């Protein structure tokens, strides 16, 4: 299965230009332990870490690089905090297209290694992803460089790469096909592209008659990067740039990007914004591993942190089916994984000691 299972719903490049590594078709599993602790009868996890490079961004890369090939573009220029770059680097390798990526300053080492393993050229920019002015200036320059005849700029946001983002909408198509009674979907956000893609995918599903109505799509952000969720919750119409203080890799996007459209789409669905602390996120990351067997990076735990907050606040009913998007693998950010097991030990023992320890 791949995103091209839904080719009738996507802006579809000719079949000979499509690139696929088997992205999409990810599991939807019940969070039995955490759901039970909340009294939430149906809490589901959409495990996007099962995509080929370990995150939902493979859906974006498959669509983006396929459309590049169809348009005759032979050079990929991109920005990333890690997952977009890993996905684009892999799909560019499969398409035999050079890939150059401007990286946010705080990108985890594991993600850099993955991008380089696929052959991408990386440039980490001081202040990019933290300082809104530097981030805007970087994107402006990259947009100029990406306008060359042979080059396409790929940024996982509708305002820069709408054809690539159409591939991310397949998450909603899969959820609509699998579980038609979903009431709430919680989505982590940096620049907001994923949230907007899921909201639009549900809107398309309603328009085509595959769903009677859209679930409420909720935007969840770290408090230190409250560009969208804060204004949404405060009933404002516009997202706002911030100086990012969050340590959650992948969600350090201090500028607006798709934020205004996210606010409109979430509000139309009946969704809201939720802000969670970094400490809450790290705690939920640990709980997902220990209680559900789901090994995710910190950004992958953000949606569930928001859902727990909503249940505890009475904003989600305990009988209302709820889905949380788990965006990326724990192997993406090994520093956070190592912090989870900082006090664990793995001693070397003699064979003769084994019986007494087991």
Q: Mind listing the domains of the chain with CATH numbers? A: 3-54+165-340 (3.40.50.1100), 57-163 (3.40.50.1100)
CB 274 within 8 A of CB 220: yes
Q: Does the reported pTM lie above 0.75?
A: yes
pLDDT tens for residues 27-64?
999 999 999 999 998 999 999 999 999 999 999 999 99
Mean pLDDT of the region 337-357: 89
Show the tokens assigned to 201: 């995918």
Confidence of residue 146 (pLDDT cuts 50, 70, 90): very high
- Which alpha helices (H) appear in 208-277, and where do they start and end? 229-233, 259-269
Whole-number Å distance between alpha carbons of 161 and 152: 9
Place of tokens 């990259």: 142
Residues whose CB falls within 8 Å of the CB of residue 265, separated by 6 or more in sequence, listed in order: 195, 196, 199, 200, 203, 217
| Identity of the highest mean pLDDT range in 74-83, 172-181, 262-271, 332-341 | 262-271
Query: Which tokens hold the place of 31?
Result: 């969070």
Give the pLDDT score at 351: 87
């Amino acid at each position: 299965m791949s995103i091209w299972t839904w080719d009738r719903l996507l802006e579809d490049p000719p079949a000979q230009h499509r690139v696929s590594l088997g992205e999409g078709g990810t599991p939807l599993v019940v969070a039995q332990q955490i759901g039970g602790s909340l009294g939430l009868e149906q809490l589901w996890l959409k495990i996007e870490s099962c995509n080929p490079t370990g995150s939902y961004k493979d859906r974006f890369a498959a669509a983006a690089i396929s459309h590049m090939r169809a348009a005759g573009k032979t050079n990929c220029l991109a920005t990333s905090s890690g997952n977009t770059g890993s996905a684009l680097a892999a799909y560019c390798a499969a398409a035999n297209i050079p890939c150059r990526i401007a990286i946010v300053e705080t990108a985890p080492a594991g993600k850099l290694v993955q991008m380089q393993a696929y052959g991408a050229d990386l440039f980490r920019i001081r202040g990019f992803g933290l300082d809104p002015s530097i981030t805007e200036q970087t994107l402006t320059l990259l947009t100029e460089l990406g306008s060359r005849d042979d080059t396409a700029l790929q940024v996982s946001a509708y305002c820069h790469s709408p054809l690539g983002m159409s591939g991310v909408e397949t998450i909603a198509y899969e959820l609509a096909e699998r579980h038609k009674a979903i009431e709430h979907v919680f989505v982590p956000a940096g620049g907001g592209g994923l949230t907007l893609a899921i909201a639009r995918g549900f809107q398309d599903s309603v328009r085509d008659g595959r769903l009677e109505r859209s679930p409420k799509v909720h935007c969840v952000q770290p408090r230190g990067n409250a560009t969208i969720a804060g204004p949404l919750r405060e009933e404002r119409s516009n997202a706002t740039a911030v100086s990012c203080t969050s340590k959650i890799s992948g969600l350090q996007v201090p500028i607006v990007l798709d934020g205004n459209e996210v606010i409109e789409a979430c509000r139309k669905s009946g969704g809201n914004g939720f802000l969670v602390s970094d400490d809450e996120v790290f705690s939920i990351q640990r709980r997902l591993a220990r209680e559900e067997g789901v090994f995710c990076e910190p950004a992958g735990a953000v949606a569930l942190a928001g859902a727990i907050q909503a249940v505890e606040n009475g904003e989600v009913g305990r009988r209302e089916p709820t889905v949380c998007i788990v965006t990326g693998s724990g192997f993406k950010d090994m520093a956070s994984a190592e912090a989870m097991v900082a006090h664990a030990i793995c001693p070397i023992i003699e064979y003769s000691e084994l019986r007494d320890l087991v």
